[in-house]
Amino acid sequence: MKDMARETEDAARTLGGQLQFVEGQSPGELDRAFSTMTRENPDALVTLPSTMLFSERRRLVALAAQHRLPSMFNSSEFVEHSADFAFGAGGGLD
């Protein structure tokens, strides 16, 4: 996961962007993570693959919508819950 985070950060830098990583290790930390993110006024939410985030996808998409945070997820299953955008390996653009 650290390699993926580093590669994502490198890609953002190449595109002139800056990432701020906000951790959420359990479903109970998602509200706190979104509060932290919205205080920083980000342009968008991008998630890295996570079993916990995948299992909480319905809630994650709802929180992104509630906080009016454009979001990109790594699996088309998020789009089934009205996510803005998903892109994943082998899955293409949804």
d(CA 49, CA 8): 12
> Does residue 74 belong to any structural domain of this protein?
yes
Q: Using one digit for the tens of pLDDT, what is the confidence trace for 27-69?
A: 999 999 999 998 998 988 988 888 999 999 999 999 998 998 8
The tally of domains found in the chain comes to 1
> Does residue 53 belong to any structural domain of this protein?
yes
> Does residue 27 belong to any structural domain of this protein?
no
Tell me which H or E stretch contains 32: helix 30-39
> Does residue 71 belong to any structural domain of this protein?
yes
> Does residue 11 belong to any structural domain of this protein?
no
> Does residue 73 belong to any structural domain of this protein?
yes
CA distances from residue 47 to 5, 19, 34, 69 in whole angstroms, order as listed: 10, 11, 12, 12
Residue 91: the pLDDT is 45
> Does residue 91 belong to any structural domain of this protein?
yes
Residue 92, domain extent = 44-94
> Does residue 15 belong to any structural domain of this protein?
no
